[in-house]
Amino acid sequence: MNTADLIAKKLTEALVPDSLKVVDESHQHEGHAGHRPGGETHFRVYIVAPAFAGKTRVDRHRLINSILSDELKGGVHALAIHAQAPGEAQ
């Protein structure tokens, strides 16, 4: 399983999102710090989940970071997060 699929699997199991999109942006960072040959280092997550209702942006990011802690300690160098509760999605 590639890293993007693993991120999607973990977030889906933990948060049961209404929508989720994980984008591997590693190719945009070739030659930059944290980039590895083969990529899978830089990701962007778009997620809408009921679990975010009433939570601040910081709390939403902390929740996602805790779910993906193993990946963030390992090969994932950067994770951009766009987290919304249902009804906030545009």
Residue 74: what pLDDT?
87
The pLDDT tens digits of the residues spanning 45-82 come to: 999 999 999 999 999 999 999 999 999 998 888 899 99
Strands (E), the chain: 19-24, 42-48, 78-84
Query: Which residue intervals of 16-85 are DSSP H helices?
Result: 57-67, 69-73
CB under 8 Å to 40, separation ≥6 — which residues? 2, 3, 4, 24, 26, 75, 76
Q: Tell me whether residue 29 is exposed, middle or buried, using C-beta atoms within 10 angstroms of its C-beta: 0 to 12, 13 to 18, 19 or more.
A: middle
For the chain, list the domains and their CATH numbers.
3-84 (3.30.300.90)
pTM confidence score: 0.86
The pLDDT tens digits of the residues spanning 8-47 come to: 999 999 999 999 999 998 866 566 555 555 667 889 999 9
